[in-house]
Chains A and B, each alone.
With several copies, the nearest count.
Chain A
Amino acid sequence: MKILLFAGLKEAIGDEELEIRVEGRTVAEVKAELATRFPEVENLVRRSHFAVGQDYVSDSFRFETTPDEIALIPPVSGG
């Protein structure tokens, strides 16, 4: 499954999307894998939230087998 990346995450990882297995796993589990694969953004990933179908989900949320669009939202700074 592809997840969308933005801002500091996109810049640090070097791509605007990222392939990772999410189906059946919790947000916390996916974040743990990301932190292992990209230790340079561990802190930023920990402070980011997943959005599924453009709504925020919590760390205990478990992804469906065929989820909607998924994005990893780093702390926002609009305004």
Chain B
Amino acid sequence: MIQIVETTIDHQQLLQAVSSHQSGAVVLFLGNTREFTGERQTTFLSYECYPEMALRKLEALREEAIRKFGLLDVAMVHRVGQVDLGETSVAIAVSSAHRRPAFEAGNWLIDTLKKVVPIWKKEIWADGSTEWVHPDSESQTTDSR
């Protein structure tokens, strides 16, 4: 299950998608909009993506993780558009027979997603300013969530 959605992510659906009688371990990761980055206050985030390529990259990551970590299944859903405080922008569910690979894969998937999947976040700060986040620059916010 790989999706890009414009409304609330239903994590129950991800858990169901990856669960079976063989999945002794299921790990779900949720990335949510956080109110404070240091002292700066966020009003909301807005995400944009390159849809066809983002879906292709998510599917490739899914297949690579299943192979690399010996998983049973992976589901990934990313939301685009406005994501309010406390709401989920990305959900990753991983299932495996044993718990270790499920944790390792969940960690690897979100790390890798943040590096290669063409999705961008815009900060709408409480002071009224806005900022596209393009990491690894002196002049721009880097994302450390």
> How many chain-A residues does the 8 Å CB contact rule pick out?
19
* Chain A residues near B53 (CB-CB < 8 A): 51, 54, 71, 73
A4 interfacial contact with B, CB 8 Å:
yes
Taking a contact as CB atoms under 8 Å apart, the answer to whether A74 and B52 are in contact is: no
A74 and B136 form a contact (CB under 8 A): no
Can you list 27 A-B pairs, Cβ within 8 angstroms, ordered by A? A6-B48, A7-B132, A7-B134, A8-B120, A8-B140, A43-B137, A44-B134, A47-B136, A47-B137, A51-B53, A51-B118, A54-B50, A54-B56, A71-B50, A71-B118, A75-B137, A76-B135, A77-B114, A77-B119, A77-B135, A78-B54, A78-B89, A78-B114, A78-B119, A79-B114, A79-B119, A79-B121
Chain B interface residue count: which class? 20 to 34
Are B145's CB and A79's CB within 8 A? yes
Interface residue A19 (Cβ < 8 Å from any Cβ of B): no
A interface list, Cβ under 8 A from B: 4, 6-8, 11, 43-44, 47, 51, 54, 56, 71, 73-79
> Is B47 close to A, CB under 8 A?
yes
Report yes or no: B135 in contact with A7, Cβ–Cβ below 8 A.
Answer: no
List CB contacts (< 8 Å) of B98-145 with chain A.
110, 113-122, 132-137, 139-140, 143, 145
Determine if B120 and A78 form an interchain contact, defined as CB atoms under 8 angstroms apart. yes
Across the A-B interface, the 9 shortest Cβ-Cβ residue pairs: A78-B119, A7-B120, A8-B132, A77-B133, A54-B53, A75-B134, A79-B114, A77-B121, A7-B132
